[in-house]
Amino acid sequence: MTPLFYSKLSNDLFSILNDADDYNVIIKVGENENAKEFHAHSVILRARSPYFKGALSSCWIEKKNDMIFYSKPNIAPNVFDMILRYIYTGKLELTEQPSEDILELLIASDELLIEELFDYVQVYLIKERSGWIATHFHLVFSTAFKLNNCNKLQDYCFESTCGSFSTSNEFLSLDKDTIYKMLERDDIKINEVTAWE
């Protein structure tokens, strides 16, 4: 039997993230007073995210003194911190995170093409935050339908409350792209004429 030492590896990589002085990427996330810089290693980012593999290729990067500078203003610092911890350690602790941040993590993991994280966050929201989904249904529903591969969360929304939602005033406030995506589904029970009235 081959021994596995993932826990030690994960801890060592986490210490590299926190303490290393040999980073070669500075990523600025967020905007204005909610902006923060993170230090990272391009080899780890490229290995763990197809997005970063492309974004940090030599034809796309801005480099000064062998340091890569990259900006992601649309991702909040607390969300990017969770992503970096996941990239470096393979660990993710969501129990203390606000549900809004977890939904933002779903969006960011989709954008950064981190499929394993994207799938996990969908399942986590469904299993652990179903009450929050119910009270913030419009937000979750419209977010799920803006993300092409968010099938688990889309299915959950349909199965849990879509029957009453499709006849509510909140349904009428959805943007047309979300409604189009809903109507493309085979399992939806909304009269298309009603949707456009």
Question: Would you list the domain boundaries of the chain?
Answer: 1-92
CA nearest to 152, candidates 127, 132, 174:
127
Contacts of 40 (CB under 8 A, 6+ apart): 17, 23, 25, 27, 84
Mean pLDDT within 159-186: 60
Q: What is the DSSP string of 102-138?
A: HHHHHHHHHHTT-HHHHHHHHHHHHHH-HHHHHHTHH
Q: Which residue has the tokens 């109507």?
A: 183
Asked whether the predicted pLDDT for residue 99 surpasses 90, the reply is yes
pLDDT in tens, 112-142: 999 999 999 999 999 999 999 999 988 998 8
Query: 1-92, superfamily in CATH?
Result: Potassium Channel Kv1.1; Chain A (3.30.710.10)
Better-scored residue on pLDDT, 46 or 11 = 46
Identify the pLDDT of residue 145.
87
Model confidence at 16, pLDDT cuts 50, 70, 90, reads confident
Identify the pLDDT of residue 165.
52
Asked whether the predicted pLDDT for residue 193 surpasses 50, the reply is no
Asked whether the predicted pLDDT for residue 174 surpasses 70, the reply is no
pLDDT in tens, 81-90: 999 999 999 9
Euclidean distance between CA atoms 31 and 45, whole angstroms: 22
| Cα atoms found within 13 Å of the Cα of residue 101, Cβ hemisphere only | 14
The residues with which 34 forms a beta bridge, in sequence order, are 31
Asked whether the predicted pLDDT for residue 172 surpasses 60, the reply is no
Identify the pLDDT of residue 173.
60
Asked whether the predicted pLDDT for residue 107 surpasses 70, the reply is yes
Identify the pLDDT of residue 48.
94
Mean pLDDT within 22-48: 94
Euclidean distance between CA atoms 22 and 119, whole angstroms: 32
Euclidean distance between CA atoms 172 and 65, whole angstroms: 53
Q: For residue 99, what are its two tokens? A: 């549900």
| Cα atoms found within 13 Å of the Cα of residue 81, Cβ hemisphere only | 12
Q: Is 81 helix (H, G, I), strand (E, B) or coil?
A: helix
Euclidean distance between CA atoms 191 and 188, whole angstroms: 9
Phi, psi of 93 (to 5 degrees): -115, 110
CA nearest to 192, candidates 173, 166, 156, 164:
166
CA angle 79, 80, 82 (to 5 degrees): 70
